[in-house]
Structures are given as C-alpha cells and as structure tokens.
RNA sequence: GCGCCUGUAGCUCAGUAGGAUAGAGCAGCGGACUUCUAAUCCGCUGGUCGGGGGUUCGAAUCCUCCCAGGCGCGCCA
C-alpha cells in the first residue's frame, strides 16, 4: 500500500522538477509517523531535495503538495519544518484489507529480489558431535532468513557445508577407536585432544555391533573406518535434530568432495597462475594481504596438507561458479577474522567480493539458573539442541532465538525459558491466532452463517479508529518483509508480529465481533480473518506453528 | 598492541535508510471475566540513549577521541 503512495509521490516529484527546472528529487521514502495527528503516511523528501537545491524545505514541500492528486488522499499538508503528511480515506484502508483477504498466504510477498539466485549457507557444524544450543541460533536465523528472502522474491538455496575432511575426522576416528577398546575391556589411554562426550561411548557400542570385524583391522584402518562410519551416524543425527527444529536444507555439501574432485588443488593452482601464491618456510602462501587482509595466509602446510582455508577458497569458488549472485554465510562471531580472507580469495579469483555477505551470529551464553554452562564439544560438556527443544518446545526456542538481532549477545537461561514458557512472547502471538479461530468456531456453534467469500464482504462498517490502525499494520507487512530481507534482519518479524497481536488483543477486549448486526459482524470477522492470515504467514516464516486453539 | 561486535528504563531488548514528544516485554503498584478463550486488556511508576567533541534545519542512529564488556588475531577447524 505505501508503495502505491510512494510511486504517486515520485511521479509528482518528477512533474514538479520539470515544471520548475529542478534536478530530479532523491528517492521518495514513505514512513509511518509516530503520532496520529500527523496522519497516516509521511515523507521527508522535501528536506533531502531542498538540501540538494539549497531551497527551504517548506517551500519545496508546498510545491509537491499542490501537485498531488490521488482519490484516496483525504488530507495532505506540510507540517513542521517541511514534512509532507497524508491522511487516507476509509476506503483506502478497506481496499488494503481486501488485498490481504484475496491474496491470503501470498500476502506480503514481494518482487524485491526479482528471482535473483541467493545461497544461504548455515549451521555447517562439524559431524563430530550433536548440535548444541549454540548451533540452534544459527539454524533459526539461517532458516528464517531463507524463508524471508523467498518471501521477498529471491530464489533461495539452503546449504549445509559438511566438514568431513581433515584433522577433525581423524580425531573422531581415534576417539571412537579408544572407546571401542574400552568397551571391549582393553586398557587404553584416551587421546588427549579426543572428543570426550558420552555420545562417543554410545556410538562406539553401536559401532561394535554394526561393524563387528572393525577391531580386527590394523589400527589405522580401523580408525579411518570408524571415522567415516561415525561421521555419517552423527550427520544423520544432526539431520534428525534439524528436522525436529523445523529446518530444511536443499543441499549438503561435502568438504571431502572438494579434495576428492581436485577442486582444492585446482583453486590453489589458479591463484598460482595469477601469481598470488608463493613458497616460504616450506609452505605455500596466498598473498591475501594484497586484497585487504592483514597478512598472507598459508594454504598448504609444510607437511603437504592443505589448510582449512584452502578448502574454503575452493568452496567459495565453487559457490560463485554455480551462478549465485549473492552468497550469505551464517557464521559464529568467533569466525569473523575469516571474512577478509575469503573475500580476498573471491576477489583474487575474479569475482566481486561484495557478493559474499557474512552474517555473524554472536554466541549464545547458555545459563542454568543464572550460572553459565561451560560448553565445548571436545570436553563433551554441553546441552544439545534436542534437549532444549524437548524441554522448552520448538516454537518457544525458535521465537526466542529470533527476537534479537544476530550481532547482539544472547543469554539463554534454561530454567528461565522453562519457567517463562507461559510468559514467552511466542504464546502471546499464537494466542491471538487461536483467539481468532475460536471466534469463528463460536460463530458456527451459534448457527451464524460465515461469509462464503471473505473478499466480497462489505467492509464499510469498519469505521473505528482502532480498526483502521489494525488494517494499517496489516498493510505494513509487505514493507516490513522487504526491509527485513534487505537488511538481513529476521528478528524484525518477531517484533512486527508482537505489535500486530497487541493491536488485536486490545481491540478484542474493547469490542465484540459476534454481534446481531450481520453486516458489522461479517466486516469484523473479515478483519479478524485478515489478522489471522498475516499472523499465520509471519509465524510460518519464523518456523513457528499457528495453533487454532490453546 | 591491532581488528570486529556490543553499551538505550531495575532486568531482557526494539528503535524500521538522519526525522517530529526515545518504545515494548518482564519486574512493581492499582483496576477489568453472568457476554466471542483473563496465556488477554486498561491505567500508573520508571531514561544524563556509556562519556566528551564534531557534522546540520534535526543525531540513539553518521564522524572522531575516550571508557567498559565480549570475541578474534596459528603451517587449528
């Protein structure tokens, strides 16, 4: 809706520019004034334009206002130092609600992305242990961001990068081997840097059953076999956990495949051809500092093995080759030092480094009764994602993890989350939806006939100020989606939904929907239906359910 | 030492592309169910936006310098 106003004003500005011989105006932005007395929409274009031309903003605003001619604009005037404020007709808002009712769950979709191909890579936890609560945040953010971008018109592919190559796999194999021996009663010294979690013991027991002759192999082979088998087992567990958490991936990309296909070697060779690789101290270095990195980085160790970075270079090269125009990596904030390296590599390989957007997720501080819980995968002391979801519930966990911007630290207190589970904002939003469904059920119970076609309900009985406010909020949904998609800020959805739910709860407490007056009743039912549609769609983006009763 | 992130009400956090008198939730106090779900609503209380300077019609937002906290600066991943 505000889009239409924005277009109209832009058109007017072009006319005004032509008429007065002015340069074209800056982009017109329509916003919602905080105070009602200023009207429904507002723009500050006169300030920006006036500044560019060194003319008083009020004068510029006046010229624009005189030219505006739109049937749904009831009042337009210049306020304060030069704001242009608009008040819309009732019919305009009724039209807005009708749009929601006719587009249903498609409402809020936008063509902002124009089908641009975007890849979102997230979670990407090593297959050396189950997902813990720290991974949950990245999972929730990455998944909702993907849904959000799709809603905003991008063509999105979700990918999980499986770190199944290199050192960690060896450690996994050795850890499993040691536990297998223990289970068999063979005294053994557990590897110092091995994974100490209890899940390794469980896995070892299972391995002895499923791979009965593994212990007959020479140690190296046994460890390698256990490593491969274990990684697959763990990865399957991860997939189950993610499913439980309502997170889907289109693609599972194996790091090992980059070595097997020679992609890593090839990427390094290409850098070499460009003269960006040199040898020093028996190692191969990538001259990343020529592209803004602090210093050069080793890509092949003196022992001959490639570094993790080398694989990452090959991986990002592969992504770019697949034709994505935007690559979004969701990383833990402790990896931030990696950004300049990967960007440097992309640039060195001839790609625009700006196609890579990295979303840094600050770590979750897991607390239990106010006390921090130490969490290390190797130490084996952690609370798994599965445990938290089982304790607190998928909906509440997802919602809570999405109510903060990603670059802010997040305290997640298990006891508090459980205790507060009835005070959790997620229930507030879900309750609004359940309430609307309940109104409908009651109407049916009372034998009131529901409108067959919501689109055709006469909305003119909706004349209350608060009804208009609700519709205004509904019509702001699309703009919110676009803003959140543009800035990669999925948390905006949770705040929007909370505000919409609050408007509806207030309205519900002050007004009755199921009245004898059929016209008014149906109009209010239609309004409720509109709210339900947007709540449902917003919750879907969050991966949270919209219950019909609570 | 260098780099990234954070600092807003007692607590946890928003603040939508620099806009108009800075907002929610929780906590606290007081009210609202014979009427569509009280997991709700209504009212009150609560602020040197970490601090100083700067940019301009206008700054929580941009620049700069400090202060505090987190993270990172490996031939680990």
**Are A271 and A324 members of one domain?**
yes
Question: Quick one: three-class SS letters along A408-454?
Answer: CCEEEEHHHHHHHHHCCHHHHHHHHHHHHHHHHHHHHHCCCCCCCCH
d(CA A201, CA A180): 8
Q: Which domain holds residue A81?
A: 2-88
Distance from first CA to last CA of chain A, Å, rounded? 33
> Is A378 a residue whose pLDDT tops 60?
no
Does some domain include residue A391?
Answer: no
Q: Nearest nucleotide by C1' from A432 CA?
A: B40
d(CA A198, CA A381): 9
**Are A535 and A425 members of one domain?**
yes
Does some domain include residue A161?
Answer: no
Closest protein residue to B17 using CA and C1' atoms? A29
pLDDT of residue A73: 95
- Between the CA of A364 and the C1' of B13, what is the distance in angstroms? 15
Quick one: which of A244, A179, A170 has its CA closest to A206? A179
Q: What is the CATH number of the domain that holds A295?
A: 3.40.50.620
- DSSP strands (E only) in A105-209: 117-121, 155-162
**Are A15 and A58 members of one domain?**
yes
Does some domain include residue A409?
Answer: no
pLDDT of residue A23: 87
Closest protein residue to B6 using CA and C1' atoms? A408
Banded pLDDT at A241 (limits 50, 70, 90): very high
Mean pLDDT of A290-303: 91
- Between the CA of A103 and the C1' of B2, what is the distance in angstroms? 53
- Between the CA of A294 and the C1' of B2, what is the distance in angstroms? 9
Q: Nearest nucleotide by C1' from A525 CA?
A: B36
Closest protein residue to B20 using CA and C1' atoms? A80
**Are A425 and A538 members of one domain?**
yes
- Between the CA of A357 and the C1' of B65, what is the distance in angstroms? 30
Contacts of A334 (CB under 8 A, 6+ apart): A363
- Are the beta carbons of A475 and A1 closer than 8 angstroms? yes
Does some domain include residue A203?
Answer: yes
- Between the CA of A82 and the C1' of B54, what is the distance in angstroms? 25
Question: Quick one: three-class SS letters along A296-325?
Answer: CEEEECCCCCECHHHHHHHHHHHHHHCCCC
Q: Nearest nucleotide by C1' from A29 CA?
A: B17
Which chain B positions have some atom within 7 A of a protein CB? 2-7, 12-21, 23-27, 32, 35-42, 57-58, 69-77
Of A345, A361, A377, the position where a domain reaches its end is A361
**Are A230 and A265 members of one domain?**
no
Q: Nearest nucleotide by C1' from A33 CA?
A: B20
- Between the CA of A485 and the C1' of B5, what is the distance in angstroms? 21
Q: pTM value?
A: 0.94
**Are A221 and A291 members of one domain?**
no
> Is A489 a residue whose pLDDT tops 80?
yes
Does some domain include residue A341?
Answer: yes
pLDDT of residue A420: 66
The answer to which of A141-155, A243-257, A372-386, A437-451 has the lowest mean pLDDT is A372-386
Q: Nearest nucleotide by C1' from A51 CA?
A: B57
Closest protein residue to B13 using CA and C1' atoms? A404
Q: Nearest nucleotide by C1' from A54 CA?
A: B57
- Between the CA of A354 and the C1' of B65, what is the distance in angstroms? 31
Q: Which tokens hold the place of A106? A: 């498609």
**Are A519 and A446 members of one domain?**
yes
Does some domain include residue A46?
Answer: yes
pLDDT tens-digit series, residues A20-49 = 988 888 889 999 998 888 899 999 999 999
> Is A490 a residue whose pLDDT tops 80?
yes
**Are A300 and A192 members of one domain?**
no
Does some domain include residue A251?
Answer: no
Of A361, A391, A410, the position where a domain reaches its end is A361
pLDDT of residue A455: 93
> Is A91 a residue whose pLDDT tops 80?
yes
Q: What is the CATH number of the domain that holds A37?
A: 3.30.1360.70
Run of H or E including A519: helix A518-542
- Between the CA of A294 and the C1' of B1, what is the distance in angstroms? 14
Tell me the β-bridge partners of A77: A85
Give how many domains chain A has, as a whole number. 4
- Between the CA of A168 and the C1' of B72, what is the distance in angstroms? 21
pLDDT of residue A380: 56
Contacts of A221 (CB under 8 A, 6+ apart): none
- Are the beta carbons of A485 and A151 closer than 8 angstroms? yes
Helices A263-273 and A308-321, packing angle to 10 deg: 90
d(CA A149, CA A113): 8
Does some domain include residue A250?
Answer: no
- Between the CA of A196 and the C1' of B61, what is the distance in angstroms? 47
Q: Is A408 exposed, middle or buried (0-12, 13-18, 19+ CB in 10 A)?
A: exposed
Q: Nearest nucleotide by C1' from A501 CA?
A: B40
pLDDT of residue A167: 82
Q: Nearest nucleotide by C1' from A126 CA?
A: B77
- Average confidence score pLDDT of chain A: 91
- Between the CA of A13 and the C1' of B61, what is the distance in angstroms? 27
The C-alpha angle with vertex A203 and arms to A197 and A205, in degrees rounded to 5, equals 120
Mean pLDDT of A421-447: 91
Phi, psi of A361 (to 5 degrees): -100, 120
Strands A283-286 vs A277-280: parallel, antiparallel or unpaired? antiparallel
> Is A139 a residue whose pLDDT tops 70?
yes
- Are the beta carbons of A182 and A516 closer than 8 angstroms? no
Tell me the β-bridge partners of A361: A332
Of A88, A111, A138, the position where a domain reaches its end is A88
Q: Nearest nucleotide by C1' from A480 CA?
A: B16
Q: Which tokens hold the place of A471? A: 């519709």
């Amino acid at each position: 809706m505000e889009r239409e106003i924005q277009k109209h004003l832009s058109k007017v500005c072009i006319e005004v520019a032509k008429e007065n011989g002015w340069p074209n105006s800056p982009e017109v932005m329509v916003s919602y004034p905080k105070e009602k007395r200023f009207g429904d929409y507002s723009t500050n274009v006169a300030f920006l334009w006036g500044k560019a031309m060194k003319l008083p903003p009020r004068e510029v605003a006046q010229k624009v206002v005189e030219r505006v001619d739109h049937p749904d604009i009831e009042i337009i005037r210049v306020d304060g130092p030069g704001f242009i404020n608009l008040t819309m007709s009732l019919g305009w808002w009724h039209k807005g609600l009708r749009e929601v009712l006719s587009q249903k769950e498609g409402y809020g979709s936008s063509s902002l992305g124009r089908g641009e191909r975007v890849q979102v890579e997230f979670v990407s936890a090593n297959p050396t242990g189950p997902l813990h609560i720290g991974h949950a945040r990245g999972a929730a953010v990455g998944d909702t961001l993907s849904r959000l971008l799709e809603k905003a018109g991008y063509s999105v592919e979700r990918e999980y990068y499986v770190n199944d190559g290199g050192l960690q796999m060896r450690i996994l194999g050795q850890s499993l081997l040691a536990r297998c021996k223990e289970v068999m009663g063979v005294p053994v010294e557990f590897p110092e840097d091995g994974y100490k979690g209890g899940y390794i013991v469980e896995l070892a027991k299972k391995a002895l059953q499923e791979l009965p002759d593994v212990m007959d192999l020479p140690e190296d082979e046994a460890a390698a076999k256990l490593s491969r088998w274990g990684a697959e087992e763990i990865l399957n567990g991860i997939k189950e956990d993610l499913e439980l958490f309502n997170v889907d991936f289109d693609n599972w990309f194996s790091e090992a495949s980059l070595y097997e296909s020679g992609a890593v070697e090839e990427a390094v060779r290409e850098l070499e051809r460009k003269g960006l690789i040199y040898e020093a101290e028996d190692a191969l270095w990538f001259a990343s500092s020529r592209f803004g990195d602090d210093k050069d980085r080793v890509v092949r160790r003196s022992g001959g093995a490639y570094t993790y970075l080398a694989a990452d270079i090959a991986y990002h090269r592969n992504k770019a080759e697949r034709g994505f125009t935007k690559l979004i990596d969701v990383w833990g904030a402790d990896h931030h030092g990696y950004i300049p390296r990967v960007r440097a590599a992309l640039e060195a390989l001839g790609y625009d480094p700006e196609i890579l957007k990295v979303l840094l997720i600050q770590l979750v501080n897991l607390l239990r009764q106010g006390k921090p819980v130490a969490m290390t995968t190797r130490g084996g002391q952690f609370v798994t994602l599965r445990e938290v979801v089982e304790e607190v519930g998928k909906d509440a966990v997802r919602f809570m993890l999405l109510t903060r911007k990603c670059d802010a630290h997040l305290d997640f207190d298990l006891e508090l989350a459980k205790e507060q589970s009835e005070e959790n904002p997620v229930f507030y939003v879900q309750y609004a939806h359940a309430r609307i469904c309940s109104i409908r059920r009651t109407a049916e119970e009372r034998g009131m006939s529901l409108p067959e076609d919501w689109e055709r309900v006469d909305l003119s009985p909706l004349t209350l100020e608060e009804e208009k406010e609700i519709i205004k909020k509904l019509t702001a949904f699309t703009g919110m989606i676009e803003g959140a998609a543009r800035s990669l800020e999925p948390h905006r959805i949770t705040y929007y939904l909370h505000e919409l739910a609050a408007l509806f709860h207030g309205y519900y407490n002050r007004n009755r929907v199921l009245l004898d007056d059929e016209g008014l009743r149906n109009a209010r039912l239609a309004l409720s239906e509109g709210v339900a549609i947007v709540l449902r769609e917003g919750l879907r983006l969050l991966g949270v359910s919209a219950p019909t009763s609570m």
